[in-house]
Structure 1
Amino acid sequence: MSVCITLTRSSISFMATGARRYSRIGFVGLGNMGGHMAKNLLKKSYKLTVYDLNKSAVTNLVEAGANSAPNVAEMSKEVEVVISMLPSNQHVLDIYTGENGVLSAAKKNVLLIDSSTVDPSVSQSVASQAQKHNLRFIDSPVSGGVNAAKDGTLTFMVGGSSTDFDHAQSVLEAMGSRVVYCGDVGMGQAAKLCNNMLLAISMIGTAEAFNLGQKLGLDAKVLANIINSSSGRCWSSDLYNPVPGILPNVPSSKNYEGGFGTTLMAKDLGLAQSAAIRTQTPIPLGSLAHQIYRAIIAHGFSNKDFSVVYQFLKESAS
């Protein structure tokens, strides 16, 4: 594979010389992330056909210029690329390998791109079955959150053949600012699970630090200014602070609405836990983070952004 690396002030872009330009794309899964990703494809003049069980999400995309399909099979028949952004292992298996799924209808050599976060073994299973149908599959989970999905600055972590990675470049770069090749199918998922486990741990630590600081009498904005210019700085403190009012455009300042839900974070931590058990890898903090997010859900925060751990800690102390 021939790759050229372009440096800019804000990002590193990995541009493969074998990148292809596709025109007809199918997109399934129009939630908080997928809806924005699909709109960015429309902005880049791709012909888009969408499907989701949520009819209002479909209507929103149709109003933006997409076509809609009555089911996944119909969506898959006339496109060159299928992209999915789904919540769980089972959703991915159902959409691709289920009755009237993508594999049952897509034409030979169509490129399948799954940007869901699932167990690496799920990606590997779908890829194996796709190959039997003369289809190509890559796993391509994302990092960056809802704001990055909206702004088109996601990072894609890609697992698959180097050729398929090259061919996916132009599509992925329409939705993100960084596309990284991680290795064979499933390695994108492996990278994502490690990243999200660390994200959960750092968010819990950030929430604990700010809760303690306020209990000691520190103003949260003063503490944020100190942390974000000191050794405690991290993404959770600097760009996604869990304390309401510190940053204007993050879920904590919007009653923890939108963003990356606690249920999804708990799911990802469960996947990391399963992978750790399978590989006999100790993850004591990852396991504790999983327990904490399960407790957050049990306390009624299942529909809130994962930064609500700050509010959970405040209420637990009162």
Structure 2
Amino acid sequence: MSSSTPLTVGFVGLGHMGGPMAANLVKAGHRVRGYDLVAESLEAAEAAGVEPAASAADAATGADVVVTMLPAGRHVLALYRDEGLLAAAAPGTLFVDCSTIDVADARAAHEAAVAAGHQALDAPVSGGVAGAEAGTLTFMAGGGEAEFARAEPLLAVMGKKTVHCGGPGAGQAAKICNNMILGISMIAVSEAFVLGESLGLSHQALFDVASTASGQCWSLTSNCPVPGPVPASPANRDYRPGFAAPLMAKDLGLAADALRASGIDSAFGIEAAKRYAEYAAGAGATEDFSGIIREIRETITERNETAS
């Protein structure tokens, strides 16, 4: 399968991430038949050239490849096992799940697909909505070499980098490890800016130093949590996501579960999961994950007021 070979792709889950991904496949010349439970998402995808399907199973019928982008593992497994997605597809169809889910769920989905006579790959993404729209996502793939080789041309249309991380579930493992780093680093960067504010240091001065020194990281240079230094960061748009805080809370929750199951003592990972869960349940419900800096400021203010 080369990138120039037109394929029929079934795409289930056409939200903020899946919609632009499907649209990029259409732009590359592939026939995409898509389905989403939300009518507005389906309509937006149709406007981008995606053929609307009557159901998820209908989207899979006659497809060479079926891509899913869903909220959680239970949704993937329900589609695969209970809602006819696997049964609707022709034998040997490649199922590529781009959702971010638990490693155990990814392996269970892989086993279900293989048992039904198909091929499967877990391929979660990094890059957010902007990356989905621009086709610059990073894919972390888990599955066999043959499955990866078959999927890679399609993934290359939707992203700029694809890494084969290992066997089934390895893509999900890489994703939760990566996002644990991201969540912890955003908290660290946010706390540093709040500390700088208390010491009379301007945001720009701290950015100019840290962005070219040992404190440099993506949370600082691409998604800076304060307005000004990085014009494209959500901080300049009142923290409109971006990468929504509830999604970060979900990913860190998966990481925390994996840490506990593995018996790893990771105080930072567990604490980051706790803080993002609290933030996402409150003010961060509709904000970018970098907006946690406001939660940090408010916590400090409350403590100072209590102390005084």
Q: TM-score, normalised by structure 2?
A: 0.93
* Equivalent AA in structure 2 for residue 224 of structure 1: F
Q: 1:245-295: per-residue Cα shift (whole Å, max 9, x none)?
A: 332222221121122221111111111111112221222100000111122
- Other-structure match for 1:129: 112
- Structure 2 residue 181 is the aligned partner of structure 1 residue 192: no
* Equivalent AA in structure 2 for residue 200 of structure 1: G
Q: How many percent of aligned residue pairs carry the same amino acid?
A: 40
- Structure 2 residue 44 is the aligned partner of structure 1 residue 60: yes
Q: 1:200-223: per-residue Cα shift (whole Å, max 9, x none)?
A: 000000111111112222221221
* Equivalent AA in structure 2 for residue 267 of structure 1: K
Q: Provide the C-alpha distance between the structure 2 equivalents of 1:87 and 1:227, rounded to a whole number of angstroms.
A: 35
Q: Provide the C-alpha distance between the structure 2 equivalents of 1:98 and 1:251, rounded to a whole number of angstroms.
A: 39
- Other-structure match for 1:13: none
Q: Provide the C-alpha distance between the structure 2 equivalents of 1:163 and 1:304, rounded to a whole number of angstroms.
A: 40
Q: Provide the C-alpha distance between the structure 2 equivalents of 1:229 and 1:131, rounded to a whole number of angstroms.
A: 48
Task: Tell me if the contact between 2:80 and 2:112 (Cα under 8 Å) persists in the aligned partners.
Answer: no
Task: Tell me if the contact between 2:135 and 2:157 (Cα under 8 Å) persists in the aligned partners.
Answer: yes
Q: Give the alignment of 1:28-43 within 5 angstroms.
A: 28-43=12-27
The count of aligned residue pairs is 300
Q: Provide the C-alpha distance between the structure 1 equivalents of 2:252 and 2:83, rounded to a whole number of angstroms.
A: 29
Q: Give the alignment of 1:15-54 within 5 angstroms.
A: 21-54=5-38
| Other structure's SS at 2:177 match | helix
64-73 or 27-36, larger mean C-alpha shift: 27-36
- Other-structure match for 1:91: 75
| Other structure's SS at 2:255 match | helix
Q: Provide the C-alpha distance between the structure 2 equivalents of 1:215 and 1:52, rounded to a whole number of angstroms.
A: 47
**Higher helix residue share:** 2
Judged with a 3 Å threshold, the aligned counterparts in structure 2 of structure 1 residues 19 and 181 are, in CA distance, closer, same or farther, namely farther
Greater RCO (CA < 8 Å, at least 6 residues apart): 1
Q: Aligned Cα RMSD in Å?
A: 1.4
| Other structure's SS at 2:117 match | coil
Q: 1:77-110: per-residue Cα shift (whole Å, max 9, x none)?
A: 021111111111212112222223x112111111
Q: Give the alignment of 1:274-293 within 5 angstroms.
A: 274-293=257-276
Structure 2: stretches of 5+ with no match in the other structure: 302-308
| Other structure's SS at 2:180 match | helix
Q: Give the alignment of 1:176-187 within 5 angstroms.
A: 176-187=159-170
Structure 1: stretches of 5+ with no match in the other structure: 1-17
The Cα shift of 1:183 comes to 0.8
Q: Provide the C-alpha distance between the structure 1 equivalents of 2:133 and 2:12, rounded to a whole number of angstroms.
A: 17
The Cα shift of 1:177 comes to 0.9
Q: Provide the C-alpha distance between the structure 2 equivalents of 1:146 and 1:250, rounded to a whole number of angstroms.
A: 13
Q: Give the alignment of 1:253-264 within 5 angstroms.
A: 253-264=236-247
| Other structure's SS at 1:147 match | helix
| Other structure's SS at 2:212 match | coil
- Other-structure match for 2:150: 167
Task: Tell me if the contact between 1:32 and 1:258 (Cα under 8 Å) persists in the aligned partners.
Answer: no
Task: Tell me if the contact between 2:6 and 2:29 (Cα under 8 Å) persists in the aligned partners.
Answer: no
Q: Provide the C-alpha distance between the structure 2 equivalents of 1:262 and 1:309, rounded to a whole number of angstroms.
A: 8
Q: TM-score, normalised by structure 1?
A: 0.91
Q: 1:186-209: per-residue Cα shift (whole Å, max 9, x none)?
A: 000001110001100000001111
| Other structure's SS at 1:182 match | strand
Task: Tell me if the contact between 1:32 and 1:259 (Cα under 8 Å) persists in the aligned partners.
Answer: no
| Other structure's SS at 2:34 match | strand
- Other-structure match for 1:76: 60
